[in-house]
Amino acid sequence: MSRKITFLTLFLWLMTVTFPVIAQQKTDTTYTFRFVPQKDMFYVPWNGNDTELARLLECIENNKATILDGKLPLLVDG
């Protein structure tokens, strides 16, 4: 019984130490654009698209060399 408690305590302690490190890993960046309902039109000043487009262009400009070298994939879904 004591061995199980020791193992459980060690396991829980190890999880509390490693979980924050795992949670801090960098995630993919997503840019979301909104379209006018029933028109399938993309307007830059509509519903925050101007801000998202500026963020996207800044990211592409900052990583242009890496993207062109093929080291950083640029995926478009939509």
State the Cα–Cα distance between residues 21 and 16, nearest whole angstrom: 9
In the prediction, which pLDDT does 21 show? Answer: 60
Mean pLDDT, the chain, rounded, equals: 81
Distance of CA 3 to the CA centre of its chain: 41
Query: 71 or 45: which carries more pLDDT confidence?
Result: 71
pTM of the model: 0.55
Does residue 25 have a pLDDT over 70?
no
Render pLDDT for 42-70 as a digit per residue (tens, 0 to 9).
Answer: 788 888 888 989 999 999 999 999 999 99
Q: What is the mean pLDDT of residues 28-46?
A: 82
Q: What is the DSSP letter of 36?
A: B
In terms of C-beta density within 10 A (0-12 exposed, 13-18 middle, 19 or more buried), how is residue 27 classed?
exposed
